[in-house]
Amino acid sequence: MRLDQFLSARTMYTRRQLRQMIQNGAVTVDDIVVRQAGQTIQPQRQRICLEGKHVPGDTYLYILLNKPRGYVCSAHEPGQHIVFELIPPELMRKDLQPVGRLDKDSTGMLLLTDDGQLSHQITAARSHAEKYYVIELARPWESFYAQRFADGITLADGAHCIPAKAACIPGTENKVLVQLHEGKYHQVRRMMAALGNHVQSLQRIAIGGLILPPDLPCGACRRLGDEDIQKILKSRSDFATMLQILKKSSS
């Protein structure tokens, strides 16, 4: 692969900008300054640095962001803060996109990647990559809610949700754990509205077997490895176990 082609795919710079930067000595390959944009490289075997920062040679990039309130997941929202503002420059790529969405007022686990196939695997209902949410309700949890979730709730617009799980977190009256296998627009909020309640806050805490790290501050992100991706695709989090973990953390 050409050096400028590689850097263009893994940074936000244009080919023209990169050619100038390479000529100016801003790029090293295995610690040696390279000034030829067309030099052939082997990204997975060589260490390429741009302005002193390592540019990984992995084919795809996977990022876990602990999304704060007030940020939207779209890249084109005039006047809004977008989640891409929270990604450090060395982790930005032109094709980086959120996997699914969290609305502006929601927080927690948000995956971003340039791997379109993986994104589809996670968001497609048939993949059964479950998503876990902790929500706080305006009014106390009602015992009949759980069965309605299990039966599949019909939303106000007539859309039908596939069966899901929900339970009140022990020791609370209005904090709830929800498990979904799909991701309709504002789904959890609309499901609770269909039951006559209102979601005051929503945090996504897990996808598949990957749980939001408790030591990852709100607004921070980290790069994911292959083992993390396998947790999302192949591991499963037990609903009862997740409920007990939340019970301990809330007590």
Mean pLDDT of 96-115: 94
pLDDT at site 77: 77
According to DSSP, the β-strands at 97-98 and 107-113 are antiparallel
* Neighbouring residues of 80: CB distance < 8 A, sequence distance ≥ 6: 71, 72, 74, 104
The one catalytic residue in 103, 114, 115, 238 is: 103
pLDDT at site 210: 93
CA distance 221 to 207: 16
Give catalytic status of residue 103 as yes or no.
yes
Kindly report the backbone phi and psi dihedral angles of residue 37, in degrees, each rounded to the nearest multiple of 5, phi listed first: -65, -30
pLDDT bucket at 188, cuts 50 / 70 / 90: very high
- By C-alpha distance, which of 109, 111, 99 is closest to 67? 109
* Lowest-pLDDT choice from 22-31, 62-71, 114-123, 199-208: 114-123
Mean pLDDT of 54-68: 91
For the chain, what is the mean pLDDT?
A: 92
Q: What is the CA radius of gyration of the chain?
A: 21
Q: Is 195 exposed, middle or buried (0-12, 13-18, 19+ CB in 10 A)?
A: middle
What is the residue type of 135?
Answer: I
Judged against a pLDDT cut of 70, whether residue 128 lies above it is answered with no
Judged against a pLDDT cut of 80, whether residue 75 lies above it is answered with no
Judged against a pLDDT cut of 70, whether residue 226 lies above it is answered with yes
pLDDT bucket at 233, cuts 50 / 70 / 90: confident
Tokens of residue 64, six digits: 């876990």
CA distance 214 to 14: 37
Judged against a pLDDT cut of 70, whether residue 93 lies above it is answered with yes
